């Protein structure tokens, strides 16, 4: 179970890192503005303090049919998608952890008997019949 918490933490950290790195630098933008996706442009536009860079971004977004007032909604939509993915990973991870402990995958729900005398008709290690010494004959079984 501790491993599942660790895995979920790592996944959440990766999604957070992915969201924070969804901006673009002026150098990358200058190299190839077409290579930067709309949401990254919008996020950079909203976070940038440089009005000249903001104008360059808005020119590129306008060529793509996106207006400045569309940017907050696009960024929020991406954040919601990432949050949904995090919840899905957490739910699936929780279900896997639960099922691994409770046999809900359709596997065998009983443990195998490791001794020699599970039933009274069997023989013990010395070759003697188990009889009433067997696990099935004892109250509570094995």
Angle at which helices 38-47 and 51-63 pack, to 10 degrees? 160
Whether residue 141 sits in one domain with residue 98: no
**pLDDT band (50, 70, 90) for residue 86:** confident
* Whether pLDDT at 87 is above 90: no
So what's the pLDDT on residue 67?
Answer: 94
Angle CA 116–122–126, to nearest 5: 60
* Residues 63 and 36: beta-carbon distance below 8 Å: no
Whether residue 84 sits in one domain with residue 18: yes
* Whether pLDDT at 108 is above 60: no
Q: pTM of the full predicted structure?
A: 0.52
**pLDDT band (50, 70, 90) for residue 65:** very high
Q: Is the pLDDT higher at 78 or at 3?
A: 78
Whether residue 120 sits in one domain with residue 54: no
* Residues 97 and 1: beta-carbon distance below 8 Å: yes
Nearest to 115 by CA among 142, 94, 96: 142
Whether residue 95 sits in one domain with residue 38: yes
* Whether pLDDT at 12 is above 60: yes
Whether residue 127 sits in one domain with residue 98: no
Whether residue 122 sits in one domain with residue 63: no
| Number of domains composing the chain | 2
- In order, the DSSP letters of 67-108 are -GGGHHHHHHHHHHHHHHHHHHHHHHHHHHHHHHHHTTTSS-
């Amino acid at each position: 179970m501790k491993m599942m918490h660790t895995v979920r933490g790592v996944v959440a950290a990766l999604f957070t890192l992915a969201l924070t790195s969804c901006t673009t630098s002026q150098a990358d933008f200058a190299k190839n503005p077409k290579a930067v996706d709309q949401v990254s442009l919008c996020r950079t536009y909203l976070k940038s303090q440089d009005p000249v860079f903001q104008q360059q971004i808005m020119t590129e977004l306008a060529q793509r049919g996106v207006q400045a007032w569309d940017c907050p909604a696009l960024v929020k939509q991406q954040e919601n998608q990432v949050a949904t993915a995090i919840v899905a990973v957490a739910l699936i991870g929780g279900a896997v952890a639960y099922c691994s402990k409770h046999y809900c995958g359709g596997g065998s729900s009983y443990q195998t008997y490791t001794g020699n005398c599970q039933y009274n008709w069997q023989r013990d290690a010395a070759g003697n019949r188990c009889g009433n010494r067997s696990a099935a004959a004892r109250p509570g079984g094995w």
